[in-house]
Amino acid sequence: MNENALRDFMDPVFSALQKSDAGPLINVMSDDVDYFVDWKGEGVFEGGQHHGRKHYSGKKEATGFFKGLFDTQKIKAWTPQHYISNDYESYIIGRVEWAMTGDDKAYASDWVLRLVFAGDKAQKVRLLTLPDGHIDTFIPNHAEDFYLTTENIDKIVNDFQRLYFDAYLLGKTWSEAYWNGIPIFKNPADLWVYQELIYDLKPDFIIETGTCAGGSAHYLASMCELFGKGQVITIDLIKHLKGQPAHDRLTYLVGSSTSQAIDDQLKTMIPEGSTVMVVLDSDHRGPHVLDELRLYAKFVTPGSYMIVEDSYLNGRPAKPNFGPGPAEAIEQFLEETDEFYVDREKEKFLSTFNPGGYLRKKG
């Protein structure tokens, strides 16, 4: 949905909200929507508390929030100032004016409404309210000169991604990343997402292809230890080197990640009914990654993830002469199956080595 389509889509929603009718906004949401309200400022929600967050799960709870809001406040005007949209999310930034029920005092706030879509329904909605004029404190004159457009964000992120990758030539960034003294060769933003996934999923097993120095395998095992559940199985062609770390929750397998022998071992090691997450980080050439995707999809539990690492290769935006790699393999794989979808929410830190690579299994 482009910005003009978003404007046409959302204008009736704002008109309805000014009449205390949340129906059109509710209709945009999926049945199992996650709806978040964050506020900061005078008297907005919760009896005048200055900041807080509420989470509503599903249309029913979201409808209840608006009913409660309209019972206590009368929205006088929603004024959209910026519409921003890309292929999976939309933002509307503006100003809202309201009065408390039974009180003539006028209030105003800056606000940001974010909708994350899957098809034509919003899976996640977030309403952020801020003190009137707050956005101008960090984006001066934003009403006239606004830089957070889709085109600007994409350019800034891609430029930084190229810089972050290429800086390894100078002995910086990912080439000098360590976990517990072990080289890890990851983007720290992705590692943060991994620990969030492990906390949320509590997997019984994490399968990693591409062991290298063992830093990421040890990191994953340490997160399992921290959260009290899970084993890591890491696979590489090369027998582990001296200094590769040991951990009670970590098992090393030697062999090709796409071989029948490794497949048979995994089937033996992982009991039926286990919750499984997969991280693919071995040979990044497209045909090999596609073979891995096809092979490991069966191990991934519905609702869990198969993460394809280093999908920024081949000019996306790094290393433009790499040739077909993980990104091309992902595209082919998603044409072959509808079991998985790309979860762009896991790219929330903007910087990632795995753009389009967080594949969530449906169900």
* pLDDT reading at 203 higher than 80: yes
- What is the rounded CA–CA span in Å between residue 210 and residue 33? 36
CA 74 to chain centre: 34
Instruction: Specify the higher pLDDT residue, 206 or 43.
Output: 206
* pLDDT reading at 12 higher than 90: no
Kindly state the DSSP code that residue 143 receives in the 8-state scheme. T
The overall average pLDDT reported for the chain is: 90
The tokens for 85 are 């949209």
- Pairing relationship of beta strands 178-179 and 182-183 according to DSSP bridges: antiparallel
- What is the chain's alpha carbon radius of gyration, rounded to the nearest angstrom? 23
* pLDDT reading at 161 higher than 90: yes
Which pLDDT value is given to residue 242? 65
* pLDDT (tens digit per residue) in 215-225: 999 999 999 99
- What is the rounded CA–CA span in Å between residue 251 and residue 220? 12
Range 26-52 average pLDDT: 74
Q: State the CB neighbour count (10 A cutoff) for residue 162.
A: 16
Strand blocks (E) in the chain: 29-45, 49-57, 73-85, 89-100, 106-118, 121-131, 178-179, 182-183, 205-209, 231-236, 250-254, 276-280, 305-308, 340-342, 358-361
Terminal-to-terminal C-alpha distance of the chain: 26
* pLDDT (tens digit per residue) in 298-354: 999 999 999 999 999 999 999 999 999 999 999 999 999 999 999 999 999 999 999
Question: For residue 30, how many C-alpha atoms fall within 13 Å in the half-sphere facing its CB?
Answer: 15
Structure confidence at residue 2 as a pLDDT band (50, 70, 90): low
- Pairing relationship of beta strands 305-308 and 276-280 according to DSSP bridges: parallel
Which pLDDT value is given to residue 47? 44
- Pairing relationship of beta strands 89-100 and 340-342 according to DSSP bridges: unpaired
What's the pTM value of the predicted model, to 2 decimals?
Answer: 0.89
* pLDDT (tens digit per residue) in 55-72: 999 999 998 888 887 877
Instruction: Specify the higher pLDDT residue, 51 or 174.
Output: 174
Which pLDDT value is given to residue 149? 87
Shortest CA distance to 262 belongs to which of 247, 273, 278, 244?
A: 278
Which pLDDT value is given to residue 218? 97
Name the least confident of 140-149, 205-214, 326-335: 140-149
